[in-house]
């Protein structure tokens, strides 16, 4: 979702039989999308158009591969002890998982039955009422808030921020453990008033365990070219360590927990 990891077309297990949802790829030993070692399912389809997206090939909801929940769960079971031993679990990312709420809810429900930790990586943008039932089986939400200033948010994503803020407030009201993720892009999201506003907003939430500041990097650019899309950040450099530390300090000053 934040897509600061580039997923390649890793060979998928031999899925077959009836179809239930569309995925882009899976990663069986993810280490960045939640605690421990994660089995990460990247779903197909996204409504946002983030300028820094590393996986623009997840946009098209009709692309990717159709799989059934049974097939995914059978595969997850083979990694179960390894996931559990590392304090990890299953993460569903994308693309945008909440565009396929029933499919995603059922995967999480089945993981719960197996006592496997579940994490949902989302922008919080899709239809709220359709998304809410998914949360019944989510242990941790990784919520990407890609900016706070509405104009900057729109510039980054091409969509409005309000659905995401509404989703964030709901997670707070229902006490869903949440990590907030923010990608720091020099010249795009690094405006200090924007960061300050985001930190202030997050500090009003009662469920946020930590904030992750993810430094922008360009690794997905080749995919944009392959798809014939115009990549606007070709000349943007990653933030310097000083820029990252300045932004982290702002979050800390609002009492938020943040990794070094
Ligand atoms: S929300 Fe969608 S467009 Fe934005 S980074 Fe994630 S997958 Fe890419």
Lowest-pLDDT range of 84-88, 200-204, 216-220: 216-220
Rounded distance from Cα 146 to ligand 1 centre (Å):
10
What's phi and psi for 136, nearest 5 deg? -55, -30
What's phi and psi for 185, nearest 5 deg? -115, 115
- Counting ligand 1 atoms within 8 A of each CB, the residue from 3, 24, 120, 147 with the most, and so the one to mutate, is 3
As a whole-number percent, the residues of the chain with pLDDT over 70 amount to: 93
User: How much is the pLDDT for 219?
Assistant: 79
Question: Could you read off the pLDDT of 53-63 as tens digits, one per residue?
Answer: 999 999 999 99
Q: How confident is the model at residue 5 (pLDDT cuts 50, 70, 90)?
A: low
Which tokens is 4 given? 């600061």
97 lines ligand 1 (CB under 6 A): no
Lowest-pLDDT range of 171-185, 214-228, 242-256: 214-228
Mean pLDDT of 174-183: 98
pLDDT at 15 over 50: no
Minimum CA distance residue for ligand 1 atom 7: 95
pLDDT at 14 over 70: no
Could you identify the atom of ligand 1 that is nearest to the CA of residue 46? 2
User: How much is the pLDDT for 180?
Assistant: 98
User: How much is the pLDDT for 4?
Assistant: 54
Question: Could you read off the pLDDT of 207-248 as tens digits, one per residue?
Answer: 999 999 999 998 788 899 999 999 999 999 999 999 999 999
**Structural domains present in the chain:** 21-253 (3.20.20.70)
Rounded distance from Cα 256 to ligand 1 centre (Å):
25
Query: How far, in Å, CA of 132 to CA of 171, rounded?
Result: 10
């Amino acid at each position: 979702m934040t897509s600061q990891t580039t997923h390649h077309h890793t060979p998928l297990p031999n899925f077959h039989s009836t179809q239930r949802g569309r995925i882009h790829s899976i990663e069986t030993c993810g280490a960045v999308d939640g605690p421990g070692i994660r089995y990460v399912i990247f779903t197909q389809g996204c409504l946002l158009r983030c300028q820094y997206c590393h996986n623009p090939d997840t946009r098209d909801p009709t692309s990717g591969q159709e799989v059934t929940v049974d097939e995914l769960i059978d595969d997850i079971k083979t990694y179960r002890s390894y996931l559990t031993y590392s304090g990890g679990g299953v993460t569903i990312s994308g693309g945008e998982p909440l565009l396929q709420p029933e499919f995603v809810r059922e995967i999480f429900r089945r993981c719960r039955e197996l006592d496997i930790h579940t994490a949902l990586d989302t922008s919080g943008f899709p239809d709220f009422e359709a998304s809410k039932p998914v949360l019944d089986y989510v242990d941790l939400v990784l919520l990407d808030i890609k900016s706070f200033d509405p104009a900057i948010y729109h510039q980054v994503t091409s969509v409005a921020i309000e659905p995401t803020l509404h989703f964030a407030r709901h997670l707070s009201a229902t006490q869903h453990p949440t990590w907030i993720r923010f990608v720091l892009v020099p010249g795009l999201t690094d405006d200090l008033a924007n960061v300050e506003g985001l930190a202030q907003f997050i500090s009003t939430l009662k469920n946020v365990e930590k904030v992750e500041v993810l430094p922008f990097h360009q690794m997905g650019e080749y995919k944009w070219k392959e798809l014939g899309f115009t990549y606007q950040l070709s000349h943007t450099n990653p933030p310097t360590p000083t820029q990252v530390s300045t932004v982290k300090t702002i979050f800390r000053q609002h009492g938020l927990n943040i990794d070094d």
